[in-house]
Amino acid sequence: MSTDGQRGRANGQEEGAPQRSDERRAERVDDRAERLVAAGFVLSIVGAVALAVIYVLGGQAQWEGVTLALALGGIGLAIAVWARYFMPADEVVEDRHALASTEEEVAAFTTAFEAGEQTLARRGLLAKLGLGALGALGLAALFPIRSLGPRPGRGLKVTAFGGAGRPLRLVDVEERPIRPADLSGTSLLTAWPEGHVHDADAPTLLLQIDPEAFRPLPGREGWVVGDVVAYSKLCTHTGCPVGLYQTDLDLLLCPCHQSTFDVLDGAKPVFGPAARPLPQLPLGVDEEGFLIATGDFSGPVGGGFWDRGRS
């Protein structure tokens, strides 16, 4: 009798040993997976913070690329490991059976529930690290917004002629003021507002025309000085410089896409893809006889943009 009991206990130990070994092996796998997920999220946080610091310090493209790769790669690694080890992937089919549970099943459920409580506590830390990694990456992504610069506001609709708040002289590329007589024999001259020769939106065409043939648009009757009229040099199609003047037909031609504008009729487009006239600049003369702009262009210069036509 004693011998049979000893044999039963021995058999029980032999049967339970593989099960405990499998459980310990599964726990070790889970522990390694959890550490790997945590390491991925921590790596992502470090990469995102480093990306923000590098950008604030002036930026360096290669290091920004490396830190961005770490930030994104860490999140990707953590998600991949989480999906591989912690998400159910098996389809389980179980036959319907009696709903009453045996004492052994209740005990097994209690044990599994208590073990799951500990697992959920550990996974909660991983979830927090994951949120931290995503938050750090989102914070780092906000810094490049500074590179967009300030909001344009009315910056696309106002040039130096209108922003100065006072009449500005028109000058040539060497900052010399221009008189109406300077166009004699040239028919065309490029000018800029005084003090703003390098402004990309300010180049202006001064054209010598026949005053008798000129047809000013309503409200612009006083925008011409003698036989001199001024238009923006930037084509209203894509902003190319309009620099070809066919004097016998009084037409301005854009060499980029052949948009053609009628100088005598408000620089309206008569050919090509441009859909808007060249904005006109109101002219006057100061006490010394130099040409001045009495206001800004009649409309936004250059090609169209998203809110063209709004005041």
- Given 97, 196, 198, 257, the catalytic residue: 257
Q: Where are the domains of the chain?
A: 2-87+105-148, 160-293
CA–CA separation, 190 and 170 (whole Å) = 9
CA–CA separation, 31 and 116 (whole Å) = 14
Question: For the whole prediction, is pTM greater than 0.75?
Answer: no
What is the reported pLDDT for 268? 96
In CATH terms, 160-293 corresponds, of 3.40.50.1100, 2.160.20.80, 2.60.40.60, 2.102.10.10, to 2.102.10.10
| 257 counts as catalytic | yes
List all residues 6 or more positions away from 167 whose beta carbon is below 8 Å from its beta carbon.
284, 286, 292, 293, 294
What is the reported pLDDT for 307? 59
CA–CA separation, 231 and 170 (whole Å) = 12
What is the reported pLDDT for 139? 79
pLDDT of the chain along its 311 residues, tens only?
455 555 555 555 555 566 677 777 777 877 888 888 889 899 999 989 998 888 888 888 888 889 989 999 989 998 898 888 877 777 777 777 666 777 787 777 777 766 665 555 566 677 777 788 888 888 777 777 767 666 666 667 889 998 778 899 999 999 999 999 998 877 789 999 999 998 999 999 999 999 999 999 999 999 999 999 999 999 999 999 998 999 889 999 999 999 999 999 999 999 999 999 999 999 999 999 999 999 999 999 998 776 555 54
Question: Contact at 8 Å (CB) between 251 and 195?
Answer: no
- Given 97, 196, 198, 237, the catalytic residue: 237
Using alpha carbons, select from 178, 181, 161, 159 the residue that is nearest to residue 170: 178
